[in-house]
Amino acid sequence: MRNDPIVEEIRRIRREHSDRFGADLRAICDDLRRQERESSREFVASPPRRAKIATVAATPAADERIATEFPKRCGKCGQKAMRLATLPYATTIEHEGCSYRVRIPSLTVPQCGHCQAISIDDEADREISAAFRRCARLLTPDEIRQGRERLGMNEQQFASLLGVGEATLLRWETGAQIQQRAMDRFLRLCLRSPTAVQLLLSDFQPSARST
């Protein structure tokens, strides 16, 4: 979503790993545990820490932005000085040939107290994705999932109706992938028009495709 090659590479690896198991969360976790057991590395799990939201000015000083300690090393300077901070954030996101300027007045992110570099973790990434969807006027993951449930369809049935893979639909519903604008409009049509759904069901039955 953003022009960050490291983030894009991590997302690609995560999607490929998910697709190997059909987005089955239990199977994915079992495979990760197996890799940990077979690895010679030592894995350490840190307890979760909740962010303490800080009130910041539009142009705060660096020390005023620091809110809470964060047990990570800075990816830029290597110092173990990452802390959770709340600060104004803006980024430009390219999507289908269009540029969207996304602004979030108060975004909580890990920030280095040494070099002031910030790191986008999963929680911040979800907030940025939600802000982008609002800016681009795209359906949110919850809107897609809740719309499917109102139709009384499971993931496999709805994916078949749309003509996409079940893994693709799961990525839309979990926020791991943002749908294209054309597909977003198709989704809106299906979620709001019973007539469109019935037409698709009658015209694209497996038996109809095979004749």
Q: What is the pTM of this model?
A: 0.59
Question: Given this model, what pLDDT does residue 179 score?
Answer: 93
Cα distances from 152 to residues 132, 148, 201, 210, in angstroms, run 29, 7, 14, 26
Question: Given this model, what pLDDT does residue 210 score?
Answer: 42
Cβ atoms of 133 and 178 closer than 8 Å: yes
Cβ atoms of 1 and 129 closer than 8 Å: yes
Question: Does the structure show a pLDDT above 80 at 58?
Answer: no
Cβ atoms of 180 and 133 closer than 8 Å: no
Lowest-confidence region among 120-124, 136-140, 206-210: 206-210
Question: Does the structure show a pLDDT above 50 at 51?
Answer: no
Question: Does the structure show a pLDDT above 90 at 140?
Answer: yes
Is domain 141-204 annotated with CATH 1.10.260?
Answer: yes
